[in-house]
Structure 1
Amino acid sequence: MVQRKIKGKKGKKKIAAAPLAVKKPEQKKVTNPLFEKRPRNFSIGQDIQPKRDLSRFVKWPKYVRIQRQRAILYQRIKVPPPINQFTQCLDRQTATNLFKLLDKYKPESKAAKKQRLLQRAEQKSRGREDAPTKRLPVVR
């Protein structure tokens, strides 16, 4: 059994206490005795209540509501990465270029395969060597 040295807890450094602050005598504000302070009373039949900020309760346009709700839903939902990749798609021009490129490398159709095998069979029946055709590069 390996013995380990038990280290004591390292104490945090204590910060020196601030010296006792000498309080400055506060000067009282001079008030005019002719003006009497009357607190406002907002109960029924008394003072009018102050205007509240009601901008939150405005009927917003539909497109504003929809875009806000969509933003909240996107925050709440946890989307798996394979699905989330479709939120960022290529622009139209790049997409057309990509599909043109992929079209050149698409797999052989059943009709083309049948045609190729028929040509091989004809060559074999004529007595030529059966040379396998080269496979073209394909994106699947």
Structure 2
Amino acid sequence: MQILYWILIFLTTFCIMEFMAWFTHKYIMHGFLWRLHKDHHKKDHDSWFERNDAFFIFYAVISIGFFLLWKYTSFWPGLPIGLGIFAYGFCYFMVHDIFIHQRFKIFRNANNWYARGIRRAHKMHHKHLGKDDGECFGMLFVPFKYFKQ
């Protein structure tokens, strides 16, 4: 029975992370921490790394914190929560950094309905170079209108 709780907590955490990514992107990255995110919208450096990558580190630290809670305390949900955050971060990295922005040149030929919708939504987000007037702040679950032809 406990494995069902672990799976439920893992999946719930993964889904909550999409909301957290949307919230963080809209109100923090395009808000008071714009200075870390703006190089993602308008590259102003020659480095492969972006200041925007600091947000990955933030969520990695939170994930590690839950792993440590699980390992060193009796907080057993720490493992599925930590894994859920990690899994979402991995999916976000694969979709956003590799598939959309091609930081590594793989998945270039993916052209199914989901791939086209995600690309379209992200392109609409990046048409705004400033921190205001943005749209579509989600990553894995975007509004249905971006999937229509």
Fold agreement, TM-score > 0.5: no
Normalising by the smaller structure, the TM-score range is under 0.3
Normalised TM-score (structure 1): 0.20
Normalised TM-score (structure 2): 0.19
Larger Rg: 1
Structure 1 or 2: more helix by fraction: 2
